[in-house]
Amino acid sequence: MRIISATSAFPKHYYSQEMLFAALQEFWGDHLAKPEVLRRLHKNVGVDGRFLALPIDAYPLLKGWGEANDHWIRSALELGYCSVSRALTGAGLDVRDVGALFFTSVTGIASPSIDARLINRMGFSPNVKRVPMFGLGCVAGAAGIARAADYVRAYPDEVAVLLSVELCSLTLQREDLSVANMISAGLFGDGAAAVVVAGNKRDGMKPSQGPRILATRSIFYPNTEEMMGWDISESGFQIVLSPEVPDLIRRQLGNDVDNFLADLGRERSDVGSWVLHTGGPKVLQATAAALSLENGELAASWDCLRRVGNLSSASVLVVLEDVMKNRRPEPGTFGLLAAMGPGFCSELVALEW
């Protein structure tokens, strides 16, 4: 099994963090008792700017969740079309070559789902297997790669595509002035990414295209479902984000990674490439502490966070794209791709470059 392509796509509207802060300050207006708290939170998330699905002045005019979700469907189709097309072109494939299409998002809802609508628009085979996934949040990029790997392990002469579209700006809650929502408003951005995974018997695949997938592991932490996710009401998606998440990462991630590696006859010092979900500064700091990474191993994650913010499930895929295109390890390098998210859970993917 091999990852043969990873490509991102973003909306055309990009704003600096200072512009976004000013817009949010106006958006919340007199309801914001302490604007300095919002400024401090935005400054501390380590983001220079973010892409938005809509022009910045359109958000105060949204009349409710239904209208926001209509925009989510339209933008998800546009970005999904673009990222999948680029990923397949980069892999030298046609849409008719795809045996399975996995789709993940946690920022909007559609039925038929976005993958079905793309099959109609892009001309996929009518026999393509569809696997829409909802609710996994930030972990879904890594989980999607793992599930695509499961598919091509069963069908080694086929190709699977994973598409993630996250339009976090369309979940903004006007009445929620909690610290969690203010952090969310400063941290999360909009974007999409697609990854192509090929089976071992797929003809024409070259080692130079991307890393082999050696193994995957899912880890669920019991009784942690209140740590991250959504509360869903008439106004849409309201963020649940516990300050305990970094502590959980520090307690669990190191041992989980070590146990996974030990089962592969490896240890942490063997890992020469780290592709990790961007999270936020506290999450990345906790990850570095848990894994004893002190020499710039997470530079790609920090850079992606700074450039585009946290893209939820698409984040780890954007980091993967950056590593494949700009920071490619030497052939034979052992690597680890990982993300954490609602559940609370982890997903680990061992790679060989």
Catalytic residue among 138, 168, 304, 345: 138
Element (H, E) at 179: helix 179-187
Q: Are residues 227 and 161 in the same domain?
A: no
State residue 203's pLDDT score: 66
Three-state DSSP class for residue 230:
strand
To the question of pTM greater than 0.85 for the whole model, the response is yes
Q: Of 169, 198, 227, which one is at a domain's C-terminal end?
A: 198
CB 197 within 8 A of CB 159: yes
User: What whole-number distance in Å separates Cα of residue 182 and Cα of residue 109?
Assistant: 23
State residue 85's pLDDT score: 97
**Burial 265-294, CB ≥16 within 10 A → b, else e:** ebeeeebebbbbbbbbbbbbebbbebbebe
Instruction: Tell me the two tokens of residue 234.
Output: 């008439």
Q: Are residues 267 and 309 in the same domain?
A: yes
Domain extent at residue 20: 2-198
Q: Are residues 42 and 172 in the same domain?
A: yes
State residue 10's pLDDT score: 98
The closest alpha carbon to 270, from 334, 221, 195, 184, belongs to: 334
Q: Are residues 185 and 333 in the same domain?
A: no
State residue 313's pLDDT score: 96
The closest alpha carbon to 284, from 255, 250, 311, 318, belongs to: 250
State residue 82's pLDDT score: 98
Residue 182 CA to its chain's centroid (Å): 20
Instruction: Tell me the two tokens of residue 294.
Output: 């002190």
Bridge partners of 159, per DSSP, are: 98, 198
Distances (CA, A) of 231 to 97, 173, 252: 39, 11, 25
CATH label of the domain that carries residue 160? 3.40.47.10
Q: Are residues 216 and 193 in the same domain?
A: no
Answer yes or no: is 203 within a domain: no
CB 101 within 8 A of CB 131: yes
User: What whole-number distance in Å separates Cα of residue 254 and Cα of residue 315?
Assistant: 21
User: What whole-number distance in Å separates Cα of residue 127 and Cα of residue 138?
Assistant: 29
Q: Are residues 289 and 237 in the same domain?
A: yes
Q: Which residues of the chain have pLDDT under 70?
A: 203-208
How many domains does the structure of the chain reveal?
Answer: 2
Q: Of 198, 227, 247, which one is at a domain's C-terminal end?
A: 198
User: What whole-number distance in Å separates Cα of residue 302 and Cα of residue 45?
Assistant: 11
Q: Does the annotation mark 138 as catalytic?
A: yes
Average pLDDT, the chain: 93
